[in-house]
Structure 1
Amino acid sequence: MARSVTPFLMFEGAAEEAMRFYVPLFAGSDVKHVELYKSGEMGPEGTVKRAAFTLAGQDVICIDSPAKHGFTFTPSMSLFVECEDEAEFDNAFAQLSSGGAVMMAPDNYGFSRKFGWLSDRFGVSWQLNLS
């Protein structure tokens, strides 16, 4: 039986920047651990070998992959956030969409009071919801 399921975000050089960008957006978020590649290791020195953080209490892991891949993040997998209030929603949406792409602008789509879907400047997809 699995002990846990944790979102795992793989970047190519922007893991620490992304993590430190995400953490201040939501209460109950914190950087727990950052391990960087050292000289002579598999990845470029100073990039993230493995980092752990929480977003609104949800554990998340991220790395900077030392291998280049022919793929990146896709909107078919996203982080779904139930926002506490409209101020949190509006702030998170504005911050996350800056430099990214809006797939569904904030609106009442009938299934919630306010919903928005975006891809941030790192390519990570987010669905923000206000029930």
Structure 2
Amino acid sequence: MSTQQKITPCLWYDGQAEEAAAFYTSLFKDSRITEVQRYGKEGPGTPGSPMLVVFELAGQTYTALNGGPQFNFTEAISLSVDCEDQAEVDELWAKLSEGGEEGPCGWLKDKYGLSWQIIPRALPELLADPDPEKAGRVMKAMLGMGKIDVQGLRDAYDNK
């Protein structure tokens, strides 16, 4: 017996919903497109074109809507990815930023304009250190980074 997810993020695209969902599901384990609903003759989209794409990323359900050009993504919402290590950070950073835009502090925009935070597990662990000086050094190091560098964080933590 499965339980339905109560809250599902809906991402608004201008014609690229199915392409974006296919791209995202190719990047994460336990990911798949589960449903594609298409516009009928009533519109407003072209009959037969994707209207709504339901997909899962690492077990989390999302919908992608081809709603048109009225709305664009902003950094006011982002998808934050908990990365196990630097290798995962490097891989996701390279793939998600290709054709997009790299930002500061682990943030980037993908080629569709969606904001992502690519965060190594070490970052929140080091920032949570009870020693405010160590945590402060890690914060200062992170603020100077684009893609997060785990060794750079550890060096700051150790005051190297």
TM range (shorter): 0.7 to 0.9
1:81 corresponds in structure 2 to 81
Matches of 2:102 and 2:40 in 1, distance apart?
Answer: 37
Q: TM-score, normalised by structure 1?
A: 0.81
Residues 1-131 of structure 1 correspond to what in structure 2 (within 5 A)?
A: 4-65=6-67, 67-69=68-70, 71-104=71-104, 116-131=106-121
C-alpha deviation, 1:86, in angstroms: 2.8
C-alpha deviation, 1:4, in angstroms: 1.3
Matches of 2:113 and 2:50 in 1, distance apart?
Answer: 17
Please give the per-residue CA displacement for 1:22-46, whole angstroms capped at 9, x wherever unaligned.
0011111111111122344321234
Q: Any unmatched runs of 5+ in structure 2?
A: 122-160
- Give the superposed CA RMSD: 1.7
Secondary structure of the 2:36 match is strand
Work out which structure has the larger RCO, using CA pairs closer than 8 Å and 6 or more positions apart in sequence: 1
Matches of 1:68 and 1:130 in 2, distance apart?
Answer: 34
Secondary structure of the 1:20 match is helix
2:149 corresponds in structure 1 to none
Q: Any unmatched runs of 5+ in structure 1?
A: 105-114
Q: TM-score, normalised by structure 2?
A: 0.67
Please give the per-residue CA displacement for 1:71-124, whole angstroms capped at 9, x wherever unaligned.
3000110011112333322111111101111112xxxxxxxxxx6210011010
The answer (yes or no) to whether the contact 1:26–1:88 under 8 Å persists in 2 is no
Secondary structure of the 2:47 match is coil
Q: Which runs of 4+ in 1 moved over 3 A?
A: none
The answer (yes or no) to whether the contact 2:75–2:115 under 8 Å persists in 1 is yes
The answer (yes or no) to whether the contact 2:13–2:64 under 8 Å persists in 1 is yes
Amino acid at match of 1:89: V
Amino acid at match of 2:64: C
Amino acid at match of 1:77: I
Matches of 1:58 and 1:125 in 2, distance apart?
Answer: 17
The answer (yes or no) to whether the contact 2:13–2:69 under 8 Å persists in 1 is no
Amino acid at match of 1:37: Y
Name whichever structure is richer in strand by fraction: 1
